[in-house]
């Protein structure tokens, strides 16, 4: 599906270097959009996420430019307001405005709620929730000035149900639903739409790390969590990207404040 309206528009993506963020960045680039790619340039608390995102950003920039699109990359931490503010300001300086935001940065790690350390809880909430809020804090005024925009908050099926040994993750992803609905109400009169998406497991390095923590393969983890209902082990990042582009497009102009589920039937049981 071609989206001519994305040509010369600008998308800001957090967690852009790998997985879903990378797939969305490349999908927008193929449509001729400018990409502001924001990802981590230093280590996180959880060792499974220390995966060289800074060098991956450089690789992504090269891939975007090979597609004939323009890219600006920023290595920063979504928990740090100064990093996001600087990336937004420099991105606007490079491209004039920001038309779309894909709030994608996030982490996930197993742990019973009563066994979590305070740092583990804080890291999950700060990255998955505070990071999304901070991105919106600096980008929404840019969109309001333009009188239009679309924000996609990447939640999870865990934002719509409870999750065993993932209470901190589920709490952060449920909170994104409240943020989405509130932003949709606050910004409708400014021509800004806001939607949360809710994928089941996606075939990304993050899920490889979770499987490693469990001593299992990603496919085994998927079957265990889905009870053999999902017909494929994982959703591919490109499938998420297709949905994000659709929701950002004029074809979804009446969609806002909604929860868009990509679960292959998981939530039907």
Q: How many C-beta atoms surround the C-beta of residue 219 within 10 A?
A: 14
DSSP state of 269: -
Please check whether residue 35 is in contact with residue 72, taking contact to mean a CB–CB distance below 8 angstroms: yes
Segments in the chain forming alpha helices (H): 19-30, 53-66, 81-95, 118-125, 131-146, 167-187, 205-214, 218-226, 237-248
Tokens of 213: 């923590």
- Tell me, what's the pLDDT at 211? 56
Domain boundaries in the chain?
A: 4-264
Task: Measure Cα distances from 89 to 93, 164, 171 in Å.
Answer: 6, 40, 31
CATH 3.10.520.10 fits 4-264, yes or no: no
Q: Using CA atoms, how far apart are residues 237 and 234, in angstroms rounded to an integer? A: 9
43 Cβ contact partners less than 8 Å away, ≥ 6 residues apart: 49, 50
For the stretch 129-139, pLDDT in tens is: 999 999 999 99
R_g of the chain computed on alpha carbons: 17
Q: In a 3-state reduction of DSSP, which class is residue 111?
A: strand
How far apart are the C-alpha atoms of 225 and 266, rounded to whole Å?
A: 9
What span, in angstroms and rounded, lies between the C-alpha atoms of 112 and 148? 42
pLDDT of the chain along its 269 residues, tens only? Answer: 689 999 999 999 999 999 999 999 999 999 999 999 999 965 444 444 445 455 899 999 999 999 999 999 999 999 999 999 999 999 999 999 999 999 999 999 999 999 999 999 999 999 999 999 999 999 999 999 999 999 999 999 999 999 989 999 999 999 999 999 999 999 999 999 999 999 987 776 666 656 556 667 666 666 665 555 555 556 889 999 999 999 999 999 999 999 999 987 778 76
Round to whole Å and give the CA distance between 91 and 176.
24
Q: Spot the catalytic one: 49, 74, 138, 169.
A: 169
The pTM score is 0.90
User: Active site includes 169?
Assistant: yes
Residues 146/97, Cβ–Cβ less than 8 Å = yes
- Give the Cα separation of 44 and 80 in Å (integer): 13
Residue 212 has what pLDDT? Answer: 58
What confidence score (pLDDT) does residue 205 get?
64
pLDDT for 42 equals 52
Please classify residue 109 by burial: count the beta carbons closer than 10 Å to its beta carbon, then call 0-12 exposed, 13-18 middle and 19+ buried: buried
């Amino acid at each position: 599906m071609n989206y001519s309206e994305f040509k010369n528009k600008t998308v800001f993506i957090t967690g852009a270097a790998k997985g879903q963020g990378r797939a969305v960045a490349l999908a927008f680039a193929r449509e001729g959009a400018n990409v502001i790619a924001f990802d981590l340039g230093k280590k996180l608390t959880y060792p499974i996420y220390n995966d060289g995102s800074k060098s991956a950003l450089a690789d992504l920039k090269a891939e975007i430019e090979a597609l004939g699109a323009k890219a600006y990359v920023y290595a920063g931490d979504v928990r740090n307001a100064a990093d996001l503010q600087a990336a937004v300001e420099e991105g606007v300086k490079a491209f004039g405005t920001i038309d779309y935001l894909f709030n994608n940065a996030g982490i996930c790690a197993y742990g019973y709620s009563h066994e979590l350390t305070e740092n583990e809880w804080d890291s999950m909430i700060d990255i998955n929730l505070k990071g999304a809020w901070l991105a919106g804090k600096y980008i929404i005024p840019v969109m309001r000035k333009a009188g239009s925009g679309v924000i996609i908050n990447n939640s999870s099926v865990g934002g719509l149900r409870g999750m065993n040994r993932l209470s901190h993750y589920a709490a952060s992803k449920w909170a994104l639903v409240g943020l989405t609905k509130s932003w949709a109400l606050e910004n409708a009169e400014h021509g800004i739409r806001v939607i949360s998406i809710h994928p089941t497991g996606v075939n990304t390095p993050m899920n490889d790390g979770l499987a490693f923590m469990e001593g299992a393969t990603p496919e085994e983890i998927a079957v265990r969590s889905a009870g053999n209902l999902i017909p494929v082990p994982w959703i591919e990042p490109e499938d998420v990207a297709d949905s994000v582009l659709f929701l950002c497009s004029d074809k979804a102009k009446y969609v806002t404040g909604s929860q868009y589920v990509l679960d292959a039937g998981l939530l039907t049981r």
